[in-house]
Amino acid sequence: MSLGPPMSREGVDHALRARAAERDRISGDLLDLESHTTFQVLKDATLDGATRRRWTDTQAALSRLWVLHDAYRTVLRAAEQLRALRGRPGADRLAELTALLTGPSVVLQATVRPVEQRSLLPGSDARLTLDEAVLRMDAAFREVTSALSEIDAVWSALLPRLDAADALLRAVTGLHDRLGETIDLAGPAGGLRDLRAAVVTDPLGAAHAAAELERVTRALEDRRAAAERALRARDEYGRRREDLLAALDRVRAAESEARIAHGAVVVKIALPPSAAPRSSAADLAGELDALDVTADGWLSRAARLATLEEATRQAESRAQATAQALYGLVGRRDELRGRLGACQAMAARKDMAEDPVAAGLYERARLLLWSAPCDLTRAAEAVERYQRAIHGGGR
């Protein structure tokens, strides 16, 4: 390989200074790499699966990196020592320095292969320029840092979440201890142990871990919420029981009003049997009595208490809506009577009051609306037919 004319003394000195700065930067990067927290952990970690395979390849790249680095430094050291010799460098020394700094001076000895991969022919050493050595070091360095980055990303994302889930598990356990109730948490605890082991030993193969961790965490959050509700129910039971008794009185009052409304309306409006109000106050009171004497723990009692409170609210609302709807039927009848009168007035303005067809439709609607009990469905249809007739919309 022809190197061209030798470098000048100034060119050699400039190249040596640039290479020395480059060497210091590379050495600093390598020190940073080996002091990286993830690198230190991986050095002594017991790995498995995809991560073990990736780390094996990464260690091979790191080994190549250090071999290249040592050979690179050896050439630079030889060039610096040659330049430091006394006397003004002549053409021969400049040519030698030029060969070291720009020629294929970095020697990589042939790798000793396993016997089954050997040949009887001698292996040849690789020779690289300093620039080529730096490029190969950079490629190996990037391979190592890429693996560290991928592994660190998984650990950084999942290990804090696992710590939080462990803390949540301890919190749930503490809440159940306060309740004095035993609950089986072996499933979530075992799931978290398995997830941690998978994430620590094989982060690159733990693609399922995030979704599974989310599932376990949600389950623990549900248990914590249930335990907190149970503690509140235990501490507030006396007050909430009194509130329920008052709510039951309101239910009885609302249901009584619904029955009164039904009695008042059923003689005016035709109602189906299913429209008769149904009472739930007695059943709700029975649920409260059963809750007072139950032997269940507070986890169960809290759920039953919340269900009873909601059922009581719904019963009161339902009874109030029933009374309102029943009275609304009378209002609907009166509204239809008003529409019929307005239509009759319009018929008179159009000189249709004596029309036998229109008069017949009017009379049918009037009879339906002033009958007791009134069939609202048929009455509404009759008013609609009469209205269409006087508007010329057919019969």
Q: What predicted TM-score, i.e. pTM, was given to this entire model?
A: 0.71
DSSP at 277: -
Model pLDDT, residue 393: 54
C-alpha distances (whole Å) from 287 to each of 256, 293, 294, 319 are 20, 10, 10, 19
Model pLDDT, residue 395: 43
Are 229 and 302 in contact by the 8 Å Cβ rule? The answer is: yes
Are 343 and 383 in contact by the 8 Å Cβ rule? The answer is: yes
Please give the Cα distance from 139 to 106 (Å, whole number).
Answer: 17
How many Cα atoms within 13 Å fall on the side-chain side of residue 135?
5
How many Cα atoms within 13 Å fall on the side-chain side of residue 274?
0
Model pLDDT, residue 113: 59
Model pLDDT, residue 392: 76
Alpha-carbon Rg for the chain in angstroms: 46
**N- to C-terminal Cα separation, the chain:** 111
Helix/strand/coil for 221: helix
Helix/strand/coil for 189: helix
Question: Digits of tens for pLDDT over the chain (395 positions)?
Answer: 556 789 999 999 999 999 999 999 999 999 999 999 999 999 889 999 999 999 999 999 999 999 999 999 999 999 999 999 877 888 999 999 999 999 999 998 866 556 666 566 555 678 999 999 999 999 999 999 999 999 999 999 999 999 999 999 999 999 999 998 888 899 999 999 999 999 999 999 998 899 999 999 999 999 999 999 999 999 999 999 999 999 999 999 999 999 999 999 999 999 999 989 999 999 999 999 999 999 899 999 999 999 999 999 999 999 999 999 999 999 999 999 999 999 999 999 988 878 899 999 999 999 999 999 999 999 999 999 999 998 875 44
Q: Which residues pair with 374 in a beta bridge?
A: 269
Q: Which amino acid is at 285?
A: A
Helix/strand/coil for 185: coil
- Report the candidate in 147, 149, 148, 161 with the shortest Cα–Cα distance to residue 195: 161
- Which ranges of 36-129 would DSSP assign to H, the alpha helix? 37-44, 49-83, 91-102
**Ramachandran sector of residue 394 (left: φ over 0; alpha: ψ -120 to 50; beta: rest):** left
- Domain extents for the chain? 9-112+120-153, 160-236, 247-390
Backbone CA torsion sign across 344, 350, 354, 360: negative
Token reading at 348:
């008179």
Q: Which residues pair with 107 in a beta bridge?
A: 127
Model pLDDT, residue 88: 84
Please give the Cα distance from 101 to 99 (Å, whole number).
Answer: 6
**Taking the mean position of all CA atoms in its chain, how far away is CA 284?**
39
Please give the Cα distance from 377 to 368 (Å, whole number).
Answer: 10
Token reading at 269:
């409006």
Please give the Cα distance from 23 to 21 (Å, whole number).
Answer: 5
Q: What share of the chain is helix, strand, coil (3-state, %, to 5)?
A: 80, 0, 20
Are 287 and 308 in contact by the 8 Å Cβ rule? The answer is: yes
Token reading at 389:
């007739």
Helix/strand/coil for 150: helix
Are 290 and 213 in contact by the 8 Å Cβ rule? The answer is: no
